Structure formats: C-alpha cells, structure tokens
Amino acid sequence: MKIATQYGIRQGAIYDYGTYDRIAENHEVEAIYILLPNSMHAEFVVRGAKAGKHILCEKPMATSVKDCERMIDACKAANVMMIAHRSQYESYDRLMMKMIHEGKFGTLTQFIATNSQNQGDPAQ
C-alpha cells in the first residue's frame, strides 16, 4: 500500500491472487506485468488474457512448451499482445538505445548491463 499511495494508485485498483480476475472490470488497466514465480506464469497470463489485458511476462515465459503454447493461444484468442519483458519501455533503456543508434558511443564491441529497480522513495 505504501508504494501505491506514493504513486497515487487508488485502493480499488490493487489486486492480489484472490482478486486478480476482477482486473477485467478495471478499464484503466491496459496491461498486466507478470513477475510471479516461473511456475505461475502460464496460469496468470491465461487469466489476464481472458480479462482482455495485454501481457508483459518475465522470463522464462513458462516451465514447459505446453504452457507456452497455452499462453500464446489464450492471447491470440483474446486478441491481446504478450511480450517477454518490460525493459524496452523503461525511460533509461529507451535513452540508451537512442544513443546507441545515434552512434554516441562509437562502434560497440561489448555491452554490460545490470538490472536494478527503484521501488519507491526510501524517505517515505
């Protein structure tokens, strides 16, 4: 709740495992970011697709080919898009790609990256 309050997310727009399917009723939600344990990806992607929401699913996609196919089929049936990761939408990642394409770093021979995330204002 602390982070939701910090970013102005109303309490009725917060979902958990038990209320997840109610997300279909929230037309403000256009996409769902699935970052659950790998074994839970398939179930929540399929449920999210049935809710009519686009899906961003962390890697690995699922724990079996059968689950991957089920996820793809559910997204196709619901006419929603599923992509593997949200990183390409991060502002710093977008800036970095722009700078690379503009040749700001010359010819790249190696690229080393670290994943970190800001989880809210530590002062609050």
Domain ranges of the chain: 2-101
pLDDT at residue 4, as a whole number: 86
Q: How many CB atoms lie within 10 A of CB 84?
A: 13
Sign of the alpha-carbon torsion through 85, 89, 90, 93: positive
Q: Which stretches of the chain drop beneath a pLDDT of 70? A: 85-86, 115, 117-124
Does pTM surpass 0.95?
Answer: no
Q: How many CB atoms lie within 10 A of CB 57?
A: 25
CATH code 3.30.465.10 for 2-101: no
pLDDT at residue 118, as a whole number: 67
pLDDT at residue 117, as a whole number: 64
pLDDT at residue 121, as a whole number: 64
pLDDT at residue 25, as a whole number: 95
- Report the candidate in 18, 19, 47 with the shortest Cα–Cα distance to residue 32: 47
pLDDT at residue 120, as a whole number: 66
- Give me 56's structure tokens: 């961003």
